[in-house]
Amino acid sequence: MASDSALTQILTQLNALQVSHQALQAKLDLMSNPPSPQSSPLSRGSPIPTGHHSPNGQNLLLSSSPLASKSVLAPAVPTIAALSEHKDAPSDKEREKLLYPGRVLLTTYPDQHGYKPFTLNWGAPDPSVRGPVIPSRLPSSIKQRNALGAHSGSYSIYRALAIAMGTLSPSHKPDYSQTEPPVSIPPQPAWADPHKIVSFDPWGHLVPQVFRKEVEELGLDVRPSIAVTRAHMKMSEIDDAARKGDITIDGKVVLKSRPLMNPDGTVSDLDPGVEVNISKAAVEPVWYLPGVAERFGISENLLRRALFEDTGGMYPELITRPDIKVFLPPIGGLTVYIFGNPALLSDESKELTLRVHDECNGSDVFGSDICTCKPYLTFAIEECCRCAQRGGVGVVVYFRKEGRALGEVTKYLVYNLRKRGGDSADKYFKSTELIAGVKDMRFQALMPDVLHWLGIKKIDNMVSMSDMKYDAIVQSGIPILKRYDIPEHLIPPDSRVEIDAKIAAGYFTSGKQITQADLIKTVGRTWEETEH
């Protein structure tokens, strides 16, 4: 035990000496080669030495010492595979040096030596002319990177953590050989219009097929930003609708669920309910900045500055790389649910029912009755099923815009204010403004992109009372023949505050009209009323 303890102490001291030596070497490098404001890698984004490979495959790193100017190569930290052969795991310092061998690269600049973004022509009808979206900073791609940000939106942070902890190799190459879409979402005319789709990559689900050369021959890190699949949807509300006869079991769109099982393994005689046959697509945001700026009626420079400043300076290349026009923002994406045959989406002779739904975790998942989000969603799913059974197609688009894009924390703070200050409809919007500074931060200008991606040219039925959504779709060139809101009997009592406030504010309604004078009479329950 004593010898083990002594060995551990010696190793600890050696590690400390190594760290101290590295720090001293960095200081010596700086003294020997003092950077000027024009040449400093930190201030001017100079190229950073990256990993090289010798003929025998050994990892090499350009040294940062003065000798580096004479092209002297120094051995890099051992690879993760080599380090894993040792009894002791590599230290954080060794891992950091292995993962990020160069100095910190804060930013790059146009026409910087060695950097040549892969050609990207947004809106080109041919993918080989359009080019792939490449935000990767891997050594194989960083000098041809043509997009800012990272794949996976807000989930890119989890990828960073996995790499830091050693559970994921940053150079892992996915195998996409069995991942092609099981249903076809073919190219549409809107894909070739740089003004119609600006918030995601319309070729995102076809990346392994249309950019095979760039991935396999050129070795570029190009990844899908859309995935299309098929599934069965199972919801208790749809089970209830089927039991009441509101939805018909046709064996194609709506199917009977398999029998339930008892705890002893025997088949239960309880009604198992139904399942809905769907196709669905998950879409990550990929912003074409000139098109996004145009949608919002602002300059591209202003958009870039706002994105830079109000993310805490997270992406400096929004400012320093005006030549790179594509940005993958760290936000949630959207999911498309298709009821019926997806091939009918672009067929104007077929009936189409649509619901554009913005996320509400508290209601959609956990059934909170302070709003109508879940009843709206389930009613729209029923309507989409009925439309598909009539020979048409239904679409529900689910956007990650929690709490009117204000976030769940802000939403719950507003709930507290409402319940303490008297939850009446006349104060509904004011309560949000007092905390958030705005009553709604959802900007629907980008929302219609997904409809154009699907090839939708006409909407027969839209389940929504939002004028912002309706106007955005119609102004994008897609007519809506009929719109209707949630039936009165599906509105939870405590959500009456929200509904009446919206109607009085001018939201669409097929029911009674409500004036500002009526709002004071609509009051939600207090916290005390729930404690019984």
Cα 238 to Cα 254: distance, rounded to the nearest angstrom = 10
Cα 282 to Cα 337: distance, rounded to the nearest angstrom = 9
Kindly state the tokens that stand for 166. Answer: 């050693």
Which of 247, 524, 243 minimizes the C-alpha distance to 379? 247
Helix (H, G, I), strand (E, B) or coil at 394: strand
Dihedral through CA 457, CA 462, CA 465, CA 466, nearest 10?
-20
Query: Catalytic amino acids?
Result: 440, 442
Cα 429 to Cα 427: distance, rounded to the nearest angstrom = 6
CA 281 to chain centre: 12
Amino acid at 129: V
- Count CA atoms within 13 Å of residue 188 on its CB side: 21
Cα 17 to Cα 23: distance, rounded to the nearest angstrom = 10
Cα 155 to Cα 328: distance, rounded to the nearest angstrom = 12
**DSSP state letter for 79:** P
Contact 334, 283 (CB under 8 A): yes
DSSP 426-454: GGHHHHHHHHHSSS----GGGTTHHHHHH
DSSP β-bridge partners for residue 352: 393
DSSP β-bridge partners for residue 288: 326
Contact 407, 440 (CB under 8 A): no
Which of 37, 34, 59, 38 minimizes the C-alpha distance to 49? 59
Cα 102 to Cα 50: distance, rounded to the nearest angstrom = 6
